[in-house]
Amino acid sequence: MNQTTPTLAAAEPRLIAEPGLSARVASIVEPVLEGLGYRLVRVRISGADGCTVQVMAERPDGSMNIDDCETCSRALSPVLDTTDPVDRAYRLELSSPGLDRPLVRRSDFDRYAGHLVKIEMAVAVDGRKRFRGQLLGTEGQQARVHRDDAPAGEPIDVMLPIEEMAEAKLVLTDALIAESLRRGKQAERQLAQNDNQPHSNQSQPGD
Protein backbone atom coordinates (compact mmCIF):
# COMPACT_ATOMS: atom_id res chain seq x y z
CA MET A 1 0.00 0.00 0.00
CA ASN A 2 1.30 3.45 -0.88
CA GLN A 3 1.68 5.42 2.34
CA THR A 4 2.63 8.74 0.71
CA THR A 5 0.13 11.57 0.60
CA PRO A 6 -0.50 13.99 -2.28
CA THR A 7 -0.74 16.91 0.17
CA LEU A 8 2.79 16.38 1.47
CA ALA A 9 4.17 15.75 -1.99
CA ALA A 10 2.77 18.98 -3.41
CA ALA A 11 3.50 21.16 -0.38
CA GLU A 12 6.93 22.45 -1.40
CA PRO A 13 7.87 23.65 -4.90
CA ARG A 14 11.18 23.00 -6.62
CA LEU A 15 13.41 26.08 -6.70
CA ILE A 16 15.86 24.57 -9.22
CA ALA A 17 14.19 23.39 -12.40
CA GLU A 18 15.26 22.20 -15.83
CA PRO A 19 15.04 24.28 -19.05
CA GLY A 20 13.64 23.61 -22.52
CA LEU A 21 12.07 20.28 -23.46
CA SER A 22 12.87 18.82 -20.05
CA ALA A 23 10.78 21.59 -18.49
CA ARG A 24 7.88 20.71 -20.80
CA VAL A 25 8.06 17.06 -19.73
CA ALA A 26 8.36 18.10 -16.08
CA SER A 27 5.16 20.16 -16.33
CA ILE A 28 3.34 17.03 -17.50
CA VAL A 29 4.76 14.46 -15.09
CA GLU A 30 4.88 16.53 -11.90
CA PRO A 31 1.11 16.72 -11.24
CA VAL A 32 0.79 12.99 -11.96
CA LEU A 33 3.52 12.17 -9.46
CA GLU A 34 2.01 14.49 -6.86
CA GLY A 35 -1.36 12.82 -7.32
CA LEU A 36 0.32 9.53 -6.39
CA GLY A 37 2.02 11.08 -3.38
CA TYR A 38 5.53 11.43 -4.86
CA ARG A 39 7.71 14.46 -5.58
CA LEU A 40 9.51 15.20 -8.81
CA VAL A 41 13.22 15.77 -8.35
CA ARG A 42 14.44 16.19 -11.92
CA VAL A 43 13.76 15.42 -15.58
CA ARG A 44 16.72 14.79 -17.85
CA ILE A 45 16.55 13.96 -21.57
CA SER A 46 19.57 12.18 -23.01
CA GLY A 47 20.37 11.31 -26.61
CA ALA A 48 23.04 8.74 -25.83
CA ASP A 49 22.15 5.23 -27.10
CA GLY A 50 18.82 6.50 -28.36
CA CYS A 51 16.60 8.96 -26.54
CA THR A 52 16.02 8.42 -22.83
CA VAL A 53 13.64 10.47 -20.70
CA GLN A 54 14.82 10.07 -17.13
CA VAL A 55 12.35 11.04 -14.42
CA MET A 56 13.87 11.20 -10.95
CA ALA A 57 11.31 11.10 -8.15
CA GLU A 58 11.03 10.43 -4.42
CA ARG A 59 8.66 10.11 -1.53
CA PRO A 60 8.38 13.20 0.71
CA ASP A 61 10.83 11.55 3.14
CA GLY A 62 13.44 11.19 0.39
CA SER A 63 13.08 7.43 -0.13
CA MET A 64 12.27 5.69 -3.42
CA ASN A 65 12.37 1.94 -3.98
CA ILE A 66 11.91 -0.30 -7.02
CA ASP A 67 8.18 -0.75 -6.39
CA ASP A 68 7.77 3.04 -6.21
CA CYS A 69 9.55 3.43 -9.56
CA GLU A 70 7.29 0.82 -11.16
CA THR A 71 4.18 2.51 -9.77
CA CYS A 72 5.24 5.88 -11.19
CA SER A 73 6.26 4.40 -14.54
CA ARG A 74 2.88 2.72 -15.01
CA ALA A 75 1.09 5.99 -14.28
CA LEU A 76 3.33 8.22 -16.42
CA SER A 77 3.61 6.08 -19.57
CA PRO A 78 0.02 6.55 -20.81
CA VAL A 79 0.05 10.26 -19.93
CA LEU A 80 3.25 10.86 -21.91
CA ASP A 81 1.92 8.75 -24.78
CA THR A 82 -1.17 10.95 -24.92
CA THR A 83 0.53 14.33 -24.59
CA ASP A 84 3.50 13.26 -26.77
CA PRO A 85 5.95 16.03 -25.67
CA VAL A 86 9.01 14.36 -27.25
CA ASP A 87 9.11 14.36 -31.06
CA ARG A 88 10.97 11.05 -31.41
CA ALA A 89 10.99 7.56 -29.97
CA TYR A 90 12.29 7.43 -26.43
CA ARG A 91 12.68 5.16 -23.43
CA LEU A 92 11.11 6.23 -20.13
CA GLU A 93 13.34 5.64 -17.13
CA LEU A 94 12.19 6.16 -13.53
CA SER A 95 14.91 6.47 -10.91
CA SER A 96 15.55 7.38 -7.29
CA PRO A 97 17.70 10.43 -6.48
CA GLY A 98 20.64 8.28 -5.29
CA LEU A 99 23.21 9.21 -2.66
CA ASP A 100 24.93 11.97 -4.68
CA ARG A 101 21.52 13.43 -5.39
CA PRO A 102 20.47 16.76 -6.83
CA LEU A 103 19.19 19.33 -4.36
CA VAL A 104 16.14 21.14 -5.75
CA ARG A 105 14.01 22.25 -2.80
CA ARG A 106 14.84 24.46 0.14
CA SER A 107 14.29 21.53 2.51
CA ASP A 108 16.93 19.52 0.61
CA PHE A 109 19.56 22.12 1.54
CA ASP A 110 18.54 21.90 5.20
CA ARG A 111 18.23 18.10 5.28
CA TYR A 112 21.75 17.60 3.95
CA ALA A 113 23.48 20.37 5.88
CA GLY A 114 26.96 19.27 6.90
CA HIS A 115 27.65 17.38 3.68
CA LEU A 116 29.84 18.29 0.72
CA VAL A 117 28.07 19.90 -2.22
CA LYS A 118 28.89 21.13 -5.72
CA ILE A 119 26.89 24.05 -7.06
CA GLU A 120 26.77 25.64 -10.48
CA MET A 121 25.05 29.01 -10.65
CA ALA A 122 22.93 30.21 -13.54
CA VAL A 123 23.69 33.75 -12.35
CA ALA A 124 27.27 34.46 -11.25
CA VAL A 125 27.98 35.44 -7.63
CA ASP A 126 30.98 37.77 -7.29
CA GLY A 127 32.03 36.81 -10.80
CA ARG A 128 32.00 33.06 -10.12
CA LYS A 129 29.51 30.37 -11.17
CA ARG A 130 31.00 27.20 -9.64
CA PHE A 131 31.26 26.55 -5.92
CA ARG A 132 32.19 23.52 -3.84
CA GLY A 133 32.23 23.08 -0.08
CA GLN A 134 30.36 22.09 3.05
CA LEU A 135 26.66 22.89 2.99
CA LEU A 136 25.65 24.83 6.11
CA GLY A 137 21.89 24.97 5.55
CA THR A 138 19.72 27.90 4.46
CA GLU A 139 18.87 31.44 5.41
CA GLY A 140 15.67 32.48 3.70
CA GLN A 141 15.93 31.44 0.04
CA GLN A 142 19.72 31.28 0.11
CA ALA A 143 22.11 28.43 0.88
CA ARG A 144 25.22 28.98 2.96
CA VAL A 145 28.32 27.13 1.77
CA HIS A 146 31.71 26.86 3.51
CA ARG A 147 33.97 26.66 0.48
CA ASP A 148 36.91 24.30 0.09
CA ASP A 149 37.79 25.73 -3.33
CA ALA A 150 38.18 29.40 -2.39
CA PRO A 151 41.34 31.03 -3.82
CA ALA A 152 43.30 33.39 -1.58
CA GLY A 153 41.50 36.66 -1.17
CA GLU A 154 38.00 35.26 -1.80
CA PRO A 155 35.47 34.68 1.01
CA ILE A 156 35.32 31.16 2.41
CA ASP A 157 31.66 31.37 3.45
CA VAL A 158 29.21 32.42 0.73
CA MET A 159 25.46 32.86 0.48
CA LEU A 160 24.05 31.54 -2.80
CA PRO A 161 20.47 32.24 -3.97
CA ILE A 162 18.85 28.85 -4.56
CA GLU A 163 16.56 30.07 -7.34
CA GLU A 164 19.60 31.35 -9.25
CA MET A 165 21.32 27.94 -9.25
CA ALA A 166 21.55 25.87 -12.42
CA GLU A 167 22.43 22.73 -10.47
CA ALA A 168 23.26 21.70 -6.91
CA LYS A 169 24.45 18.18 -6.15
CA LEU A 170 25.79 16.26 -3.18
CA VAL A 171 29.31 14.85 -3.43
CA LEU A 172 29.64 11.17 -2.52
CA THR A 173 31.66 10.86 0.71
CA ASP A 174 32.05 8.30 3.49
CA ALA A 175 29.99 10.54 5.78
CA LEU A 176 27.14 10.66 3.27
CA ILE A 177 27.18 6.88 2.86
CA ALA A 178 27.17 6.39 6.64
CA GLU A 179 24.20 8.73 7.10
CA SER A 180 22.29 6.99 4.32
CA LEU A 181 22.82 3.63 6.04
CA ARG A 182 21.71 5.09 9.36
CA ARG A 183 18.53 6.53 7.84
CA GLY A 184 17.83 3.23 6.11
CA LYS A 185 18.05 1.34 9.39
CA GLN A 186 15.77 3.89 11.08
CA ALA A 187 13.21 3.45 8.30
CA GLU A 188 13.38 -0.34 8.69
CA ARG A 189 12.84 -0.08 12.45
CA GLN A 190 9.89 2.25 11.97
CA LEU A 191 8.35 -0.09 9.41
CA ALA A 192 8.82 -3.03 11.77
CA GLN A 193 7.19 -1.09 14.62
CA ASN A 194 4.22 -0.21 12.41
CA ASP A 195 3.81 -3.85 11.37
CA ASN A 196 3.87 -4.99 15.00
CA GLN A 197 1.23 -2.52 16.16
CA PRO A 198 -2.20 -4.13 16.77
CA HIS A 199 -4.85 -3.15 14.25
CA SER A 200 -8.23 -2.20 15.62
CA ASN A 201 -11.28 -4.10 14.38
CA GLN A 202 -13.60 -1.60 12.76
CA SER A 203 -16.57 -3.99 12.51
CA GLN A 204 -19.53 -3.36 14.72
CA PRO A 205 -21.54 -5.95 16.67
CA GLY A 206 -24.13 -7.51 14.44
CA ASP A 207 -22.15 -6.89 11.19
Tens digits of per-residue pLDDT, 141-181? 999 999 998 888 889 999 999 999 999 999 999 999 998 88
Q: pLDDT, tens digit, for every residue of 108-117?
A: 999 999 999 9
With vertex at residue 133, the alpha carbon angle to CA 132 and CA 138, rounded to the nearest 5 degrees, is 105
Average pLDDT of the residues in 38-58: 93
Confidence of residue 10 (pLDDT cuts 50, 70, 90): low
Distance from C-alpha of 49 to C-alpha of 51, rounded to nearest angstrom: 7
Q: What is the mean pLDDT of the chain?
A: 89
49 phi-psi bin (left φ>0, alpha ψ -120 to 50, beta other): left
SS3 161: strand
More confident call, 79 vs 190: 79
Distance from C-alpha of 159 to C-alpha of 126, rounded to nearest angstrom: 11
Distance from C-alpha of 8 to C-alpha of 28, rounded to nearest angstrom: 19
What predicted TM-score, i.e. pTM, was given to this entire model? 0.83
Given a contact cutoff of 8 angstroms between Cβ atoms, the answer to whether 56 and 96 are in contact is yes
> What pLDDT, on a 0 to 100 scale, did the predictor assign at position 9?
59
Confidence of residue 199 (pLDDT cuts 50, 70, 90): low
From the CA atom positions of the chain, what is the Rg in Å?
A: 20
With vertex at residue 30, the alpha carbon angle to CA 29 and CA 34, rounded to the nearest 5 degrees, is 120
Q: Which of 117, 104, 99 shows the shortest CA–CA distance to 182?
A: 99
> What pLDDT, on a 0 to 100 scale, did the predictor assign at position 144?
97
Amino acid in position 14: R
SS3 182: helix
What contacts 46, CB < 8 A, 6 or more positions away? 52, 54
